[in-house]
Amino acid sequence: MNILVAQSGGPSSVINATLSGIIKGYQNNAIPGKLLGSLNGIQGVIDRNIIDLTETFTDSDSLNLLAKTPAMYLGSCRYKLDESNTKDYQQIFYVLTLLDIECFIYIGGNDSMDTIHKLCVYGESIESKIQFIGLPKTIDNDIAVTDHTPGFGSAAKFVSSTILNIAHDAFVYNSPSITLVETMGRNAGWLTAAASLSRNDYFHGPDMIFLPEVEFSMTTFINSIKEKLQQKKNLIIVVSEGIKDSKGQYICQQASKWSVDSFGHTKLTGAAKILESQLKSHFDFRIRSIELNVLQRCYMHMASQTDLDEAQRLGVESIHVALEGLSGIMLAFNRLSTSHYAVDIIPVPLKDVANHEKKIPRSWINDAGNHVQEDCIDYLLPLIQGEVELEYRLGVPKYVDIKHLQ
Amino acid sequence: MNILVAQSGGPSSVINATLSGIIKGYQNNAIPGKLLGSLNGIQGVIDRNIIDLTETFTDSDSLNLLAKTPAMYLGSCRYKLDESNTKDYQQIFYVLTLLDIECFIYIGGNDSMDTIHKLCVYGESIESKIQFIGLPKTIDNDIAVTDHTPGFGSAAKFVSSTILNIAHDAFVYNSPSITLVETMGRNAGWLTAAASLSRNDYFHGPDMIFLPEVEFSMTTFINSIKEKLQQKKNLIIVVSEGIKDSKGQYICQQASKWSVDSFGHTKLTGAAKILESQLKSHFDFRIRSIELNVLQRCYMHMASQTDLDEAQRLGVESIHVALEGLSGIMLAFNRLSTSHYAVDIIPVPLKDVANHEKKIPRSWINDAGNHVQEDCIDYLLPLIQGEVELEYRLGVPKYVDIKHLQ
């Protein structure tokens, strides 16, 4: 059975762990045929930019190194399949047929699940036998049906640990201060909510957390800060890049150039910077903003072992369902228990996944809309457990070679 | 012998390791008396905000936890002693005498060495017997006379590892891109130069590195980018927050509000953001900027074991020189060998240290002024070696309690 794998969407710390799981699963099952990788997602299929994965990763050492390498070994793309343009579909199926591919596995986020779903539907329309399997990954945790997504736990661990480090930094001066921290998260606030996991015996976590799920009001924001300052001198406030005002307009949009990527998403930057400048006109003390930026999605040093293990399991399991002949499905996590955390992996129809965005339920956010409830923290906590041990060479981490992407 | 310790200036990952070394040295020598800590630097002496350190850290577990806690257990201040205002000096010596302090140890950067030097000179003028000892720390590595400063190695390890992570993130798309990364460093480019340590077998490190030591020209910058783009599609460029134009004006100053802290330093932000907006008017592809911000000075996860060990040694050694009766000195590192890296610790006169800034020698920067030479890399490399193992609790690091600072 010849299988083709590709990665798409934004990087994460564990998307290569899923790839390593696929290779492991393929090797363990001693499948006759080839396991191929398309470089730069679906673009690599169109351009016939294909590599042989079984030849590159022949021993467990190289597979382990791959699993602990951030971002995407196969590269990514932001290529949107247009249903009205059948030329792309024809070219993709031409290449898949030419390479004698029986199963195409696509690892990605919401947009990628949409892509693989479209390919599956097109395949059915031309009575193709090729199987299509989607594997979720996104640091945003916004894919529907699955309990959570690989990549999120590691990003959440980065966010929570970083907030704790920032708190230690923020408390050194004996004068008032406000520290604004901006996390990624366009429409879903999962990563922002993960800031709450920074709490411990002496630090209660961020004073406020602002999510895209709740309408943001500048007046309420300023007033609640005034109130908090009566109890303590150093405030730490975490905001999502995607907070919106009552008209549904992004706060960051008020200053930055409005630009749209190829999926029609607004490119966001600077919500915290805008709040910083607003606060500076109200308060006469130290106010600073910190944008966690792309570090959230590539900080392998802070990967969650739970996340990495699950990402790899997903890869291994995809080979099983491929061998079972399944198609048009995504593998999802089904949480069995939170108190004694356990998940199993189940296939779900791609049509239930594609183009749905999972947001934080309103009941998991406090009434004031500026913090999360304990239910949310209970849900998040298991996902950041465990630390990944990295190898080092000359003081920096040793990763798998990515010369082919440069 | 009663000893008082204080910390000052900006936080770092290992300034508490120096404090733990002092406590360890005090305990090991079974010194009769008290080891006290002043909260928020010299401000704590003036306000008599003093804690007993020997009572808090009684076992090696708590001392180890302190050594692995980022930022400053005793807090910091930015209080500038004014030579014309003798009231402050009188109050400080009044409190020191009242507490029967025989030695005052101040851990800090250039400004703190200036403070402790002034106190020492004042002490001599009133024939005080109190000893004054300075211990260096700053992530900027800009203190004179010492080979390097504690805190720098860990910040340098954070910068170099982070650049490697960012490189993995930057190479995923098959289209041109420029990633600008901004590091701290007002007048000295040591931390920016440390970005060069990200290189390995498959990544040659940043394409260009811009330091405050070299005049920055926007025209040359744009032209060299055009040149580089002919060879490769994804550029990674690292700039210091402190890059200046031919008139000596900070690049960041062109957009951000000019504001000055209590030491008369310009507060810097956004050099990379300004370059980003300039590049966007020249190139029509993905250009982004990442400000590493305060993570550079508090990212305990990325601390260098070499740095942490040396910071602790410095603390232990300060007790020895205190017992020897030395005063008016700072303990400095003297590098014995680079190839078989080793340093010893020597006392140097505070007057040779205070108010001198150590910059990167021009000979360690290439002719074009946009990268560092191998000599610089040889100097930097030993400082980032070794990884610090952290304890975790519920997925985030376990640090020492800092409730007293909140």
Sign of CA dihedral A239, A245, A251, A253: positive
Which positions in chain A touch B11 (Cβ < 8 Å)? Answer: 168-169, 172
Residue A266 has pLDDT above 60, yes or no: no
Nearest to B243 by CA among B178, B188, B163: B188
B385 with A395: Cβ contact below 8 A? yes
B169 with A381: Cβ contact below 8 A? no
Contact B268, B250 (CB under 8 A): yes
pLDDT for residue A255: 55
pLDDT for residue B259: 38
Of chain A, the percentage scoring pLDDT greater than 70 comes to 96
Name the minimum distance, in Å, from the CA of B144 to any CA of chain A.
Answer: 25
**Which residue in chain A is spatially nearest to B16 when comparing CA positions?**
A168
B403 with A202: Cβ contact below 8 A? yes
pLDDT for residue B255: 56
Catalytic residue among B88, B111, B114, B140: B140
For the CA atoms of A52, A54, A56, A59, what is the dihedral angle to 10 degrees? 180
A396 with B406: Cβ contact below 8 A? no
Interface test with B, best of A172, A292, A391 (most B CBs within 10 A): A172
**Which residue in chain B is spatially nearest to A300 when comparing CA positions?**
B165
pLDDT for residue B260: 40
Which positions in chain B touch A405 (Cβ < 8 Å)? Answer: 171-172
B392 with A395: Cβ contact below 8 A? no
A172 with B401: Cβ contact below 8 A? no
Residue A224 has pLDDT above 90, yes or no: yes
Name the minimum distance, in Å, from the CA of B126 to any CA of chain A.
Answer: 30
Contact B290, A294 (CB under 8 A): yes
A40 with B399: Cβ contact below 8 A? no
Which positions in chain A touch B291 (Cβ < 8 Å)? Answer: 291, 293
Enclosing H/E stretch for A105 = strand A103-108
- Of the candidates A69, A157, A165, which has its C-beta nearest B300's C-beta? A165
**Which residue in chain A is spatially nearest to B406 when comparing CA positions?**
A171
Tens-place pLDDT, residues A177-201: 999 999 999 899 999 999 999 999 9
Residue listed under structure tokens 């002490």: B123
- Taking CA atoms, A19 is separated from A24, A133, A160, A317, A363, in Å, by 9, 13, 26, 11, 36
- Taking CA atoms, B393 is separated from A155, A310, A377, A385, in Å, by 17, 21, 15, 9
Tokens of B105: 């140890």
- Taking the C-alpha atoms of residue A394 and residue B110, their distance in angstroms, rounded to an integer, is 30
Interface test with B, best of A12, A68, A107, A168 (most B CBs within 10 A): A168
Name the minimum distance, in Å, from the CA of A374 to any CA of chain B.
Answer: 15
Name the minimum distance, in Å, from the CA of A124 to any CA of chain B.
Answer: 30
B43 with A301: Cβ contact below 8 A? no
Interface test with B, best of A56, A169, A199, A267 (most B CBs within 10 A): A169
Tens-place pLDDT, residues A39-68: 999 999 999 999 999 888 989 999 999 999
Angle at A322 between CA A321 and CA A323, to 5 degrees: 90
**Which residue in chain A is spatially nearest to B270 when comparing CA positions?**
A273
Name the minimum distance, in Å, from the CA of B404 to any CA of chain A.
Answer: 9
User: Average pLDDT for residues A318-342, to the nearest whole number?
Assistant: 97
Query: In a 10 Å sphere around its CB, with 0-12 CB exposed, 13-18 middle and 19+ buried, how is residue A28 labelled?
Result: exposed
Question: Going along A311-389, which residue ranges are E strands?
Answer: 329-337, 342-349
**Which residue in chain B is spatially nearest to A169 when comparing CA positions?**
B71
User: Any alpha helices (H) in A176-304, and if so which ranges?
Assistant: 190-193, 218-229, 271-280, 295-298
**Which residue in chain B is spatially nearest to A295 when comparing CA positions?**
B166
- Of the candidates B72, B202, B403, which has its C-beta nearest A401's C-beta? B202
**Which residue in chain B is spatially nearest to A47 when comparing CA positions?**
B174
Residue listed under structure tokens 């260009």: B208
pLDDT for residue B110: 92
Tens-place pLDDT, residues A279-289: 988 999 999 99
B171 with A75: Cβ contact below 8 A? yes
Phi, psi of B187 (to 5 degrees): -125, -15
- Taking the C-alpha atoms of residue A357 and residue A203, their distance in angstroms, rounded to an integer, is 32
Which positions in chain B touch A166 (Cβ < 8 Å)? Answer: 294-295, 298
B403 with A295: Cβ contact below 8 A? no
Name the minimum distance, in Å, from the CA of A379 to any CA of chain B.
Answer: 13
Interface test with A, best of B69, B112, B152, B172 (most A CBs within 10 A): B172
Angle at B362 between CA B358 and CA B368, to 5 degrees: 140
Mean pLDDT score of chain A: 94
Residues of A carrying an active site annotation? 140
Annotation says B245 is catalytic? no
- Of the candidates B39, B290, B406, which has its C-beta nearest A294's C-beta? B290
| pLDDT per residue as tens, chain B (406 positions) | 999 999 999 999 999 999 999 999 999 999 999 999 999 999 999 999 999 998 889 899 999 999 999 999 999 998 888 888 899 999 999 999 999 999 999 999 999 999 999 999 999 999 999 999 999 999 999 999 999 999 999 999 999 999 999 999 999 999 999 999 999 998 999 999 999 999 999 999 999 999 999 999 999 999 999 999 999 999 999 999 999 999 999 988 765 433 344 444 444 458 898 898 889 889 999 999 999 999 999 999 999 999 999 999 999 999 999 999 999 999 999 999 999 999 999 999 999 997 789 999 999 999 999 999 999 999 999 999 999 999 999 999 999 999 999 8
| pLDDT interval class at A252 (50, 70, 90) | confident
Q: Which residues contact residue A7 at a Cβ distance below 8 angstroms, ignoring those fewer than 6 apart?
A: A15, A19, A41, A72, A73, A74, A75, A76, A106, A107, A108, A137
